[in-house]
Amino acid sequence: MKKVCVIGMGYVGFPLACAIARKYPKYDVYGVDIDEEKIRKIKDKVSPVDDEQAQKDIQYVHLTATKNFTEMKDADIIIVCVPTPVNQDHEPELDYIGNAMHEIAKYLKKGQLIILESTVNPGVCDEFVIPILNHNSLKAGKDFDLIHCPERIDPGNEKWNVYNIPRNIGGTSKQGTKRAADFYREFINAEINEVSSLMTAEATKIVENTFRDINIAYVNELAKSFDMIGIDIMEVIRGAASKPFAFMAHYPGSGVGGHCIPVDPYYLITKAQRAGFEHIFLKDARRINNGMPGYTVQKLVIGLNELELPVKNTKIGILGLSYKPNIGDIRESPSFKMIKSLAKYKPQLYTHDPYVQDKNNVELDKILTECEAVIVATSHKEFLEIEDWKNVKLIVDGRNCLDKEKIKAKGIMYKGIGSN
Tell me which residues are annotated as active site: 260
Q: Least distance in Å: CB of 102 to ligand SAJ?
A: 26
> Does residue 209 touch ligand SAJ according to CB under 6 A?
yes
Closest to ligand SAJ by CB, 128 vs 211, is: 211
Q: Which stretch binds ligand SAJ (CB under 6 A): 41-49, 232-240, 247-255, 302-310?
A: 247-255
> Does residue 22 touch ligand SAJ according to CB under 6 A?
no
> Does residue 198 touch ligand SAJ according to CB under 6 A?
no
> Does residue 146 touch ligand SAJ according to CB under 6 A?
no
> Does residue 148 touch ligand SAJ according to CB under 6 A?
no
Selected from 148, 324, 352, 404, the binder of ligand SAJ by CB under 6 A is 324
Q: Least distance in Å: CB of 209 to ligand SAJ?
A: 5
Question: In the window 156-185, what residues touch ligand SAJ (CB under 6 A)?
Answer: 157
Closest to ligand SAJ by CB, 64 vs 168, is: 168
Q: Are 319 and 352 in contact (CB under 8 A)?
A: yes
Q: Least distance in Å: CB of 87 to ligand SAJ?
A: 19
Closest to ligand SAJ by CB, 65 vs 377, is: 377
> Does residue 155 touch ligand SAJ according to CB under 6 A?
yes
Closest to ligand SAJ by CB, 148 vs 324, is: 324
Question: In the window 282-301, what residues touch ligand SAJ (CB under 6 A)?
Answer: none
> Does residue 250 touch ligand SAJ according to CB under 6 A?
yes
Residue nearest to ligand SAJ (CB): 258
Closest to ligand SAJ by CB, 72 vs 260, is: 260
Closest to ligand SAJ by CB, 90 vs 179, is: 90
Cis peptide before 25 (omega within 30 of 0): yes
Contact residues toward ligand SAJ (CB under 6 A) are 151-155, 157, 208-209, 212, 216, 250-251, 253, 256-258, 260-261, 323-324
